[in-house]
Structure 1
């Protein structure tokens, strides 16, 4: 079916066409010339009327022309050329001639385009519900993924659909679950393994704990006191001779003995006040992070189950604790995967892991340094060499670290309205054209632009509805309040009946 004809100057990557029919943005078309069948995607459409041009200011004339010649409209569109379907979607070396017809792509061509080796089904084409959209699994796991959307656009459903599809390949998924959305989830293709947010200090580095205690690099004497106490405490815990489950308290006890307090525990003349400063900082950290440690817990990475969604439930922790956990786990995962590949240590992680980082704008902020951001950047840069994949999920793309986002070679972008969000995402993705960016505000709930190495072509997708169960989403506040008021009224009526039974008369 011919939908239009090429006009104007035509390049190797895009063309303009005029039509008397109305195709849809996101539809695929083909252009046949020079023995090639070039696939393209309609990225922009406008409708106009030469008689009703922008320079016409007479309202009566406009009404008359619209009444008499209102059907004399033209449709102008822009097509992004994607490649020759007969030559593995390689871009042609010569442009099409003006006047060349443009046809809607056949179903057979589209089915071939979305035929991949390790299919991950995301949904169907927005404009053609009979065309199934599959993306390639390996580029997602090797080259990372970002799922971005404004609140309520279908982001969580998209994450759940993706994870369920990955489970069909027995991928070990590790979710940093900031809001407890997945701890009670039910996935058709696999189980959920809930991991408690606890760290055995034996597996922490001194630099991680020193940051918790807020001892800066410039405080050389404090750092020396703390390092000595830390090493002794870790040796005691490793040797199973410690009688306390609070690692920080053990450090305080060691420092207290070294400080030589007087018999009443007061600071005397012989007490080194620099040690007292360290003790105070450790005790402050105990108040803030005391529930983070568990001396009886093994390395978190050893609790990962292959073929399951491993959920680290961070819903009851504050952001500072979440940052500690994320940086600790990613650092250990990267080091242990390096050990697995290069040897030299028996501390290895023997299988790949796909990390899903919810609320990426909190854990990898754009305008603030944090350890979690540092290790997200490291895994984003190095992880693909060692089988560590990342999925950054955020409803505030503009506040996600640009360097980390630019390492995501695949993107699923649902509705984004805010211009700054759009600019930030476009600057991080070479594949996202201005015309596609302009479509983001018009996407309906559950519709997304999919692009990157996982897909042969940019695609407008209607994401499948997740068939399992998860928590999260908007609360039914009106319904909850109605139930609350009903319960209150029932309680009052019950109390009145009890009073009447006792002989009280209202």
Structure 2
């Protein structure tokens, strides 16, 4: 089906066309010239009328002209060149010939485009629901992914569909679950393995615990006392002579004993006070009787770290602890030269609320290790997925390392600019489409897909929490129940012989 004709000057990357029909933004088209069949994507459309392209300020005059000049309407558009269909989508070295017809791409051509070796089925084309959109799994795992959307645009559904598809390949997925959405979820392709937010202090470094105790980087004397108590407490745990399961309590007891020595430094008491304050809030995350938290990760499972009951400080410590240990373990395995062991310890990390864990304009311990995994993880089999409904507040360095993106509806201009600055392949025309996406529709681009794609994401077939609460129905039903209870009590009173 012919949808337009190229006109004006053309280039190797884009062409303009004019049409008497109305195609749709996001549709794929083909152009045949110079022995090539070139695929393109409609990125922009405008409508106009030659009779009304003048400065007319009279409403009645415009009304009359619009009736007379109805046949003067035209449609113009812009097509982004994607590559030669018959040459593995390589960009052509010659521009399209002006006057070339533009045709809607055949279903057979599109099916071939979305045919990949290790498919992850995200959904179907927005404009052609009979064409499935499959992306390649390996680039997602090795080159990272960002899933970005405003609240209510379908982000959680997209994450669930992705997880379920990865489970089909027995990939160990690890979700940092900030709101408890996934701990009771059910996935058709695998099971959920809930991991408690607890750490064996034997596997923690001093900086992680110092973060919890709020000892600043310039408190050199306090840090010296803290470091000494930390080392002694770790040794007691290692030797099996620790009097308590509470690591902070052990440190506190060591410092308390030191403080009773005549002439001891008064700052020891300051450190004790900080530890005592932290014990009230954070001591429940320590457990010397569990192993390394990484040993709890199961293959072919969604490994969910439930962070819904901890505050931001604890979440940051837990995230940094797990990412740091994962990277160190993988680096150690890489040095052995045994690639099978390295792959056996591969993990795909999904970070919900990435703007909290990797904030753009402030530092945090979790942010530092998220950046490290984003830069180095692909060399050691560690994949990363950043999920956020506030892209503008996600660390730019980490976001720019995400070589794949699934972007659902974004309305906020600052969010759009931040995402565009982090992605080389997100054009201004595609950015302009983000506010008009419906719930569940997304722009997919990056190494996982041969071409930028407008996708209608599949509905997740399992079960999860996290949907909006039906507040109105709750209160309607609660009032109704109260009225029924009142009538029942009145009836019971009447049955007992009492009268009002």
Q: The TM-score by the shorter chain falls in which range?
A: over 0.9
- Of residues 420, 423, 441 in structure 2, which corresponds to 1:429? 423
Please give the alpha-carbon distance, in whole angstroms, between the structure 1 residues aligned to 2:210 and 2:382. 27
Per mean C-alpha deviation after superposition, the further-off stretch among 476-485 and 347-356 is: 347-356
Residues 349, 339 of structure 1: CA spacing in aligned structure 2 closer, same or farther, 3 A cutoff?
farther
TM-score normalised to structure 1 length: 0.96
Residue ranges of structure 1 left out of the alignment (5+ in a row): 262-268
What stretches of structure 1 move > 6 A for 4+ residues in a row?
none
Q: Which residue in 2 is equivalent to 1:266?
A: none
Please give the alpha-carbon distance, in whole angstroms, between the structure 1 residues aligned to 2:224 and 2:342. 30
Q: Does 1:471 align with 2:465?
A: yes
Residues 124, 348 of structure 1: CA spacing in aligned structure 2 closer, same or farther, 3 A cutoff?
closer
Q: Which residue in 2 is equivalent to 1:392?
A: 386
Please give the alpha-carbon distance, in whole angstroms, between the structure 2 residues aligned to 1:117 and 1:174. 24
Contact preservation (8 Å) 1:2, 1:101: yes
User: Secondary structure of the equivalent of 2:78?
Assistant: strand
Contact preservation (8 Å) 2:409, 2:441: yes
Q: Output aligned runs, 1:21-60, within 5 Å.
A: 21-60=21-60
1:234 deviation in Å? 1.0
User: Secondary structure of the equivalent of 1:86?
Assistant: helix
User: Secondary structure of the equivalent of 2:86?
Assistant: coil
Q: Which residue in 1 is equivalent to 2:484?
A: 490
User: Secondary structure of the equivalent of 1:152?
Assistant: coil
Q: Output aligned runs, 1:101-500, within 5 Å.
A: 101-260=101-260, 270-343=263-336, 350-500=344-494
Q: Which residue in 2 is equivalent to 1:83?
A: 83
Deviations 1:129-162, CA, capped at 9 Å, x for gaps: 1111000000000000000001111100000000
Please give the alpha-carbon distance, in whole angstroms, between the structure 1 residues aligned to 2:476 and 2:181. 25
Please give the alpha-carbon distance, in whole angstroms, between the structure 2 residues aligned to 1:77 and 1:22. 10
Contact preservation (8 Å) 2:45, 2:76: yes
Residues 348, 213 of structure 1: CA spacing in aligned structure 2 closer, same or farther, 3 A cutoff?
farther
Contact preservation (8 Å) 2:5, 2:19: yes
Residues 234, 69 of structure 1: CA spacing in aligned structure 2 closer, same or farther, 3 A cutoff?
same
Residue ranges of structure 2 left out of the alignment (5+ in a row): none
User: Aligned pair count?
Assistant: 498
User: Secondary structure of the equivalent of 1:71?
Assistant: helix
Residues 168, 215 of structure 1: CA spacing in aligned structure 2 closer, same or farther, 3 A cutoff?
same
1:100 deviation in Å? 1.1
User: Secondary structure of the equivalent of 1:112?
Assistant: helix
Please give the alpha-carbon distance, in whole angstroms, between the structure 1 residues aligned to 2:447 and 2:437. 22
TM-score normalised to structure 2 length: 0.97
Please give the alpha-carbon distance, in whole angstroms, between the structure 2 residues aligned to 1:343 and 1:275. 44
1:331 deviation in Å? 0.5
Please give the alpha-carbon distance, in whole angstroms, between the structure 2 residues aligned to 1:79 and 1:372. 42
Please give the alpha-carbon distance, in whole angstroms, between the structure 2 residues aligned to 1:249 and 1:242. 10
Deviations 1:187-245, CA, capped at 9 Å, x for gaps: 01000001111111111001111121122232222212111111111111122222312
User: Secondary structure of the equivalent of 2:368?
Assistant: helix
